[in-house]
Amino acid sequence: MMAIAGSRHKMRTSLSRILIVTAVLGVVGCAEKRVNYEVDLTAPSDFFLGPEDVLKVMVWKSPDLSGEVTIRPDGTITMPLIGDVPSAGLTANVLAKRIGDRLTEYVSSPVVTIQVKEVNSYFIYVLGEVVKPGKYPLKSYANVVQGISLAGGFGPFANKNKIKVLRNISTGPEGHEKKRQIEIPVHYNDILSGTAVPGNFFLRSGDVIVVP
- Does residue 168 share a domain with residue 110? no
Answer yes or no: is pLDDT of 49 > 50.
Answer: yes
Residue 36 domain-assigned? no
Nearest C-alpha neighbor of 118 from the set 168, 205, 52: 52
Q: What is the span of the domain harbouring residue 108?
A: 54-118
Residue-wise pLDDT for 164-175, tens only, equals 999 988 777 755
pLDDT digits (tens, 9 = 90+) for 151-200: 999 999 999 999 999 998 877 775 566 778 999 999 999 999 988 777 89
Q: What is the 3-state secondary structure (H, E, C) of the chain?
A: CECCCCCCCCCCCCCCEEEEEEEEECCCCCCEEEEEEEEECCCCCCCCCCCCCEEEEEECCCHHHCEEEECCCCCEEEECCCEEEECCCCCHHHHHHHHHHHHCCCCCCCCEEEEEEECCCCEEEEEECECCCEEEECCCCCEHHHHHHHCCCECCCCCCCCEEEEEEEEECCCCCCEEEEEEEEECHHHHHHCCCCCCCCECCCCCEEEEC
Q: Identify the pLDDT of residue 21.
A: 52
Q: Is 196 part of any domain?
A: yes
What are the backbone angles phi and psi of residue 71, rounded to the nearest 5°? -70, 125
Question: Into how many domains does the chain fold?
Answer: 2
Please check whether residue 38 lies inside any domain of the structure.
Answer: no
- At 173, which CATH number? 3.10.560.10
Same domain, 91 and 161: no
Over residues 72-89, the mean pLDDT reads: 95
Residue 133 shares a structural domain with residue 206: yes
Residue 17 placed within a domain: no
Using 50, 70 and 90 to split pLDDT, how confident is the model at 208?
A: very high
